[in-house]
Amino acid sequence: MSALVLPATKLSELKDGLLSGPAAFLGSIFLSVQNVTEAVDLLQRTTSRVSTYLDVTALESIEDITTVLDAGATTVIVNNTQLHQLDPKTLDQDRVALWTTGVTKEEIIESIGDKSVGIFTSNVSDVAFVTAWLKEYGEEHPPVYVSFSNPNEEDAAQVSALGGIPVLPIASLSSEPSSTGSINLAKVLMAGAKSDRPDGLFTTLVVDERGTALGLVYSSEKSVQESLKLGRGVYQSRKRGLWYKGDSSGDTQELVRVSMDCDRDCLLFVVRQKGRGFCHLATSTCFGNYSGLSRLQKTLQSRKASAPEGSYTARLFNDSQLLKAKIMEEASELCEATEKEHIAFEAADLLYFALTKCVAAGVSIEDVERNLDMKALKVKRRPGNAKEQWLPSASEDTKELAIPTPAAIIQKSKEASAAADPSGKITLTRYDASKDDRAVIIEALKRPSQRSTEKIMGIVNPIIKDVQERGDKALLEYTHKFEKATSLTSPVLKAPFPESLMQLPPETIEAIDISFENIRKFHAAQKEERPLVVETMPGVVCTRFSRPIERVGCYVPGGTAVLPSTAMMLGVPAMVAGCEKIVLASPPRADGSVTPEIVYVAHKVGAESIVLAGGAQAIAAMAYGTESVSKVDKILGPGNQFVTAAKMVVSNDTSAAVGIDMPAGPSEVLVIADETAEPAFVAADLLSQAEHGVDSQVVLIAIDLTTEQLEAIETEVDKQANALPRVDIVRGAIDHSVTLIVKSLQEAMELSNVYAPEHLILQIKDAEKAVGLVKNAGSVFIGKWTPESVGDYSAGVNHSLPTYGYARQYSGVNLGSYIKHITASNLTEQGLKEVGPAVMQLAKVEELEAHRRAVSIRLAMMSSK
C-alpha cells in the first residue's frame, strides 16, 4: 500500500528519524539524500516505524542504491540512467520510482519500459497536465508522486482526488482549517475519499498495531482533522457529532497512523488502545477479547506489571538462567517433533518463552513483526547458514540443496564480475563454453526482455484510431504534443522542396553524395534485367517478372540523432526499384522544421512528400492516408517501440492493406575474435553498438584466447567506454552483454548461428573462409579493416537489418523489399494436352468440378476440330 500524501522533509526537521505534527500520522516521509552514509544513518534511526521514500538521484553508484534499499528504504526515487542500471532480476519494482520532470506521457512510459515502477514528477508547475494524465490513465496506474513548484491545497487535493500522491513540504502541512499559506492535511487526505453512505460519513476501521480489528466507526473530514491535531482517536458519531473516544470511559486511543483502503472508501486508523479495551463492554475489541499471541502478550504484560508472588511467570521474569534453559529446551523439542500436532504444541511453548523474554525486556510483538517486515525488505539475501556450534558436522547440512537454474548461475557470474571490479569497470560477463553448461550459455545469449507489448499497444491503438478517424487534425495535434512543434500548421511538405530548406555545408553534401551513389550502385545491381522464363513441359511456359511497389512510406526516426543515412538506406532502393510514390516521414524539430539533410535526401530520391510527424501517428497517417498525407502500400524503416508496435497494428488491419518490412528491435552486434584480432578494434566494434541504447546487446565470442589476450580486450572496452560521451548508455548495454570463450571456429560459428545477430563481425584469420559457415545473420563484416560503421553509412549495404533473432527468417532491407514478383503462365494447345490430364485428375480428387471442366471443355474443343 503506498502513501496517500508524502510529507517532504529535511534531516534537520526529524527528531530520532521521526516527524512531529499532523504529518507524523501519515506513516511516511520523503527526503532527498546526498550520500549513502547519510541515507543509511537515517534509515537506522527511523528503523521501521515509518515508510521512507528517498530521492537517491544524487547517489553516484548503483551499489549505493542497493545498499539504501537493503537498509530498509520503502521506495527509492531514481533517474533514468540509474533505473536502467538497476538489475531487474533482483529489483522489486514496487520499491522504485522514476524521477522525472514529467514532460510527456510518451517519454515517461518509454523510460519505464516494461517495469511497473512508480513515477515521481518533480517541481510541477502546470498541475492541469498531471491531472489530465492521471485521468487518462484511469485507476490502474503505478504510484504517481507529484511534487509542486508552488505547493497549495487546491492542487494537492486535485491530485489526491485522482489517486495521485501529493508530495508536500512538512512546513506547509497543518491540522487547522485551511488558511492562507498552509495546507489542511485532512482536506488533502480526504479529497480522494469516497463515501458510499447517504450521510456522507466515511466508514472507518480501527485496528491495533498488529492489524487486529478493534471496531468499526465513522469519520468526517472534521473528525479526521481533530484526530490529526490531537494525536488521538476522534470519530464522527452518527448521533452525537464529534466523538472524542475515551473522554467519558477513560479508554482513550493514541493515534499511530491514518490510511485508506485501495478504492478509497474505507479509512483505517491504527491506534494504541489504552484502558480496558476498545469496546464499551470492556473487551479488547468489539468482536470479543484478544486471542492467540495478542492475548498472551497482554497477559504477560500485566504479569510483568504485577506478577502474583511466586507465580511461574514471576520466576521466569526474575531468573534469566531459567528462561534461557527453557527456551533452549523447547527449541530442541520443537526440532525433534515430527507430527503436525506435536509440532504445533512445541512451537507454542517456544513462542511462549520467546515472548516472555521479549516482554521482560520491554519488546512487543509489534516490534518483532516490524523487524520481520524490515528483513523482508533486504535486497541482498543472507546466506542463512547456521553457526558452527549448531551443526552436526561441518559438511552435510551446509550444502546447497537446490540445483541452480541457468538464470541463477548467470546472476552469480554477474555478481562475481562486479565483485572482481568494485571500481565499476565496464566489462562483459564471461562464460566458458568448455566449463559452463550449454543451457547456461544459451540463457546468457538471450536478448534483454522486451517491453510489455500490452502497455505499448494501449497507447498506440487509440492514436492510430484517432488519426484514422480525424486525419490531419489529429496528426497535427499529436505532433504539437509529442514533438512540441506547436507552430507547425501543415503536417506535410510536398515536393518540390525549396532550396532554402536544404542548406548544408559542402562537406556534408559531398558525404551524402558519395554514400548515395554507392547505395544506388549496389541496389541497381540487384535489379533483375529480364524475367525468369522456364518451359516446364513442351508448350507450358512459366515466367516471373518484378514490378515496383507503387507507393512506399519510409520512416526516418528523429529524436536525439539526425539520421540522413536512414533516409538514404530507405529512399535510394525505392528510387532504384522505380516506386512511383516515395513518402518520407520524420518527426519535425521543435521549431517545426525538418533537418536539412533529410530534405536534401528526399529531394535526391525524388520523394513525393515529407510527412512531418513521428511515432505511431506517422505510421497511421501513411497506412490510411489523411487529407494531405498520401496512403502507401508498404511502410519501411526502423523506430522505437511505438513505431514498431504501430507497424504491427496497421499491417494486421486488412482495411489498411499495407505491408511492413520486418519486426525491429534494439540493435546488436556479435564479434568473433581470435588471437590475430586487434584488441582495440574488437572493443571499438563492441562499443559502436552498445552506444545505440541501454537495451542494445553486444556479444564477444573469443576463440581460444589466453587470459592475457582476453584481459587486453576487456581493458580496451573499459578504457574506450569511459572516454565516450554516451558512457551511461554504454554501461547499461554492457550490463546485459556477454563474452563467450570457445575452443574452435566451428564452435564459435555454431553459437553465432544460434544467436542470429543483426551484425556479425569476423575479426579472425582467413575471415572470408568463415563466411561459408554463416547460417543466420543480418549483415556480415569481414576482416579487421571492416568496422560495422561502414555498413551503417557508406559502403553500400543496407543498415535496416533484422534484430532480435529474426535474422533466422528475414533479410535486411534490400531491393527486393521494394518490389514484388508476378508470375505468368502461357500454354500452347500442345501444352494443355500435355498437362491437362494431371490437372483434371487432381481437380477430381479435390472435388472441384468447375476446375476440371475448365480443362475438359478445351480438350473437347481440340478433339472436335
Ligand X SMILES: *[C@@H]1O[C@H](CO)[C@@H](O)[C@H](O)[C@H]1NC(C)=O
Measured at CB, which residue is nearest to ligand X?
798
How long a stretch of residues is the chain?
A: 865
Residue 318 interacting with ligand X (CB under 6 A): yes
Query: Cα-flanking dihedrals φ and ψ of residue 328, to 5°?
Result: -65, -40
Among residues 80, 74, 92, the alpha carbon closest in space to that of 6 is found at 74
Residue 556 interacting with ligand X (CB under 6 A): no
Q: Are 760 and 737 in contact (CB under 8 A)?
A: no
Cβ neighbours of residue 639 closer than 8 Å, sequence gap 6 or more: 555, 557, 614, 615, 619, 647, 664
Q: In the window 257-296, what residues touch ligand X (CB under 6 A)?
A: 283, 288-289
Residue 9 interacting with ligand X (CB under 6 A): no
Kindly indicate which of the ranges 22-30, 365-373, 567-575, 744-752 contains the residues binding ligand X, using the contact rule CB under 6 A. 567-575
- For 525-559, b/e burial (b = at least 16 CB within 10 A) is eeeeeeeeeeeeeebbbeeeebebbebbbbbbbbe
Among 20, 125, 179, 744, binds ligand X (CB under 6 A): 125
Q: Are 790 and 759 in contact (CB under 8 A)?
A: no
Kindly indicate which of the ranges 80-88, 366-374, 469-477, 764-772 contains the residues binding ligand X, using the contact rule CB under 6 A. 80-88
> Which one of 758, 768, 821, 849 is the catalytic residue?
758
Query: 3-class secondary structure for 24-82?
Result: HHHCEEEEECCCHHHHHHHHHHHCCCCEEEEECCCCCCHHHHHHHHHCCCCEEEECHHH
Residue 815 interacting with ligand X (CB under 6 A): yes
Residue 311 interacting with ligand X (CB under 6 A): no
Among 161, 354, 541, 832, binds ligand X (CB under 6 A): 541
Cis check for the bond before 496: say yes or no (omega within 30 of 0).
yes
Tell me whether residue 59 or residue 441 sits nearer to ligand X (CB atom): 59
Which grid cell is 283? 473487551
Q: How far is the CB of 146 from ligand X (least distance, A)?
A: 13
Residue 204 interacting with ligand X (CB under 6 A): no
Residue 794 interacting with ligand X (CB under 6 A): no
Query: Cα-flanking dihedrals φ and ψ of residue 575, to 5°?
Result: -65, -45
Tell me whether residue 163 or residue 166 sits nearer to ligand X (CB atom): 166
Tell me whether residue 222 or residue 274 sits nearer to ligand X (CB atom): 274
Among residues 478, 475, 489, 485, the alpha carbon closest in space to that of 622 is found at 475
For 480, which DSSP code?
Answer: H
Tell me whether residue 181 or residue 288 sits nearer to ligand X (CB atom): 288
Q: Are 116 and 455 in contact (CB under 8 A)?
A: no
Q: End-to-end alpha-carbon separation of the chain, Å?
A: 90
84 catalytic? Reply is no
Q: With H, G, I as helix, E, B as strand and everything else as coil, classify residue 130.
A: helix
Among 46, 82, 147, 184, binds ligand X (CB under 6 A): 82
Q: Are 609 and 581 in contact (CB under 8 A)?
A: no
Single-letter code of the amino acid located at 474 = A
Residue 584 interacting with ligand X (CB under 6 A): no
Residue 452 interacting with ligand X (CB under 6 A): no
Residue 607 interacting with ligand X (CB under 6 A): no
Cβ neighbours of residue 524 closer than 8 Å, sequence gap 6 or more: 576
Among 296, 599, 636, 734, binds ligand X (CB under 6 A): 636
Residue 828 interacting with ligand X (CB under 6 A): yes
**Paired residues of 202 in beta bridges:** 219
Tell me whether residue 57 or residue 479 sits nearer to ligand X (CB atom): 57
Residue 625 interacting with ligand X (CB under 6 A): no
Residue 659 interacting with ligand X (CB under 6 A): no
* Rounded distance between C-alpha atoms, residue 549 and residue 632, angstroms: 9
Kindly indicate which of the ranges 76-84, 198-206, 488-496, 732-740 contains the residues binding ligand X, using the contact rule CB under 6 A. 76-84
Q: Are 453 and 758 in contact (CB under 8 A)?
A: no
Helix (H) or strand (E) holding 317, with range, is: helix 312-318
Give me the 28-67 binding string for ligand X, x by CB under 6 A, dash otherwise. ------xx-xx------------------xx-x-------
* Rounded distance between C-alpha atoms, residue 377 and residue 73, angstroms: 8
Q: How far is the CB of 543 from ligand X (least distance, A)?
A: 7
* Rounded distance between C-alpha atoms, residue 570 and residue 564, angstroms: 10
Residue 320 interacting with ligand X (CB under 6 A): no
* Rounded distance between C-alpha atoms, residue 858 and residue 840, angstroms: 12
Residue 360 interacting with ligand X (CB under 6 A): no
759 catalytic? Reply is yes
Tell me whether residue 294 or residue 411 sits nearer to ligand X (CB atom): 294
Q: Are 780 and 760 in contact (CB under 8 A)?
A: yes
Tell me whether residue 294 or residue 709 sits nearer to ligand X (CB atom): 294
Kindly indicate which of the ranges 181-189, 344-352, 492-500, 568-576 contains the residues binding ligand X, using the contact rule CB under 6 A. 568-576
Interface with ligand X: number of residues (CB under 6 A):
39
Q: Scan for cell 452518527, then name that residue.
A: 238
Give me the 747-786 binding string for ligand X, x by CB under 6 A, dash otherwise. ----------------------------------------
Tell me whether residue 57 or residue 174 sits nearer to ligand X (CB atom): 57
Residue 225 interacting with ligand X (CB under 6 A): no
Q: How far is the CB of 532 from ligand X (least distance, A)?
A: 13
Among 46, 52, 80, 479, binds ligand X (CB under 6 A): 80
Give me the 638-657 binding string for ligand X, x by CB under 6 A, dash otherwise. ----------xx--x-----
> Which one of 759, 821, 829, 851 is the catalytic residue?
759
Cβ neighbours of residue 863 closer than 8 Å, sequence gap 6 or more: none
Q: How far is the CB of 682 from ligand X (least distance, A)?
A: 26
845-849-854-858 Cα dihedral, nearest 10 degrees? 80
Kindly indicate which of the ranges 75-83, 241-249, 369-377, 665-673 contains the residues binding ligand X, using the contact rule CB under 6 A. 75-83
Single-letter code of the amino acid located at 70 = D
Residue 667 interacting with ligand X (CB under 6 A): no
Which grid cell is 72? 530498509
Q: How far is the CB of 668 from ligand X (least distance, A)?
A: 16
Q: With H, G, I as helix, E, B as strand and everything else as coil, classify residue 659.
A: strand
Q: For the chain, how long is the longest CA-to-CA vector?
A: 131
Q: How far is the CB of 425 from ligand X (least distance, A)?
A: 17
Residue 570 interacting with ligand X (CB under 6 A): yes
Instruction: Name the CA radius of gyration of the chain, rounded.
Output: 36
The residues assigned a catalytic role are 758-759
Site for ligand X, rule CB under 6 A:
34-35, 37-38, 57-58, 60, 79-82, 123, 125, 149, 283, 288-289, 314, 318, 522-523, 541, 569-570, 573, 636, 648-649, 652, 797-798, 800, 812-815, 817, 826, 828
